[in-house]
Amino acid sequence: MMKQESRIHSENTTQWLLITVAVGFLALFLVVPLALILTEAFKRGWSVYHQSLTDPYTLSAIGLTFFVTVIVVPLNTIFGIAAAWCIAKFRFRGRQLLMTLIDIPYSVSPVISGLIFILLFGRQGWFGDWLAAHHISIIFAFPGIVLATLFVTFPMVAKELIPLMESQGNEEEEAARLLGATGWQTFRYVTLPNIRWGLLYGILLCNSRALGEFGAVAVVSGSLRGETTTIPLHIEILYNEYQITAAFSVASLLTLTAIITLIIKSFLEWKQNRTLTMLPVYDMEVPEIHYSQPAMPVVSDFLHEKSPMNHVQPTDRRDSLPLPSTIPYRGRSQGVGENEY
């Protein structure tokens, strides 16, 4: 008894120790930085905070960031749904290659991806001469920012939907097609309701990454102030110019966005887990079937009851087996009588 109590006390001590370490880690690396950002942003009062956010360069950075996000998120949503549908619902040659290509932005540094775009669309790149001849600017311009953000964020929606759609299987879609539904009707009324929470979760992650992307955008944008600076790049410029309060004021926008994202993310995870764990309960009454004629007895039971083998000794079974002509047959088939074989 004493050993059991000692073991329980040791387990409780270990549990509380792990909880304390986890909470302390979160407080040190999450809560403290967030509190520091908000404290520095309002350190010199509301007027300075408001002035920092209404600066023309700040408004330009905010507008550019949200404009890029509005373009990137819908495109990645369409790609994510299409890729997840293709990978989860079908088996084809090259499926594994497609999944590998989707994972590339996770394995490549954003700075490297920005350099790749420069090698492709820069003045000394593969398509540089053709773009210059047609007066098309991609690098150090708005299209380059869109391409860089699109590249680093396109796996977000697909990676959330693929395991969800694979776990759901194809039974409901196949049943809808058998009932005459078109491909669009099947997707709208069967697939989309089943993946809506996972889809919203992926869109939320894609939106957050698009708002806060720094590495790839810093390479392809050139950080032209008031033209190609997004919110993260503008914060870096302000900090390098020793405008600490203004930098933290603009950073507080991303901080508030991150907090709202975490709240919505937690809600979507809760809804998705609840949807997966709640199984439908069907309250159906099985209709009683009435036969116009007595049901045909099971053949094995009929043979067991009528066979003389149950009433003779083992040595006499060979001579007592019934002939097939003595076994009655119920039903009609090819001119055979009702009680004939």
Break the chain into its structural domains and give their ranges.
46-277, 308-341
Dist CA 225 CA 111 (whole Å) = 20
- pLDDT of 6 reads 66
290 CB burial (10 A radius; 0-12, 13-18, 19+): exposed
Q: Are 210 and 69 in contact (CB under 8 A)?
A: yes
**Confidence bin at 78 (pLDDT 50/70/90):** very high
Answer whether 195's CB lies under 8 Å from 164's CB: yes
Distance of CA 174 to the CA centre of its chain: 22
Q: Give the CA distances from residue 105 to residues 90, 113, 231, in Å, rounded to whole numbers and listed in that order.
A: 24, 8, 22
Phi, psi angles (nearest 5°) of residue 333: -160, 115
- pLDDT value, residue 298: 44
Taking the whole predicted model, whether its pTM rises above 0.85 is answered as no
Closest CA to 188 of 206, 176, 204, 175: 176
**Helix, strand and coil percent figures for the chain, each rounded to 5:** 75, 0, 25
Strands of the chain (E only): list them: none
Q: Examine the pLDDT at 261 and tell me if it is beyond 70.
A: yes
Neighbours of 211 (CB within 10 A): 23
Fold for the domain defined by 46-277: MetI-like fold (1.10.3720)
Res. 39: pLDDT tops 50: yes
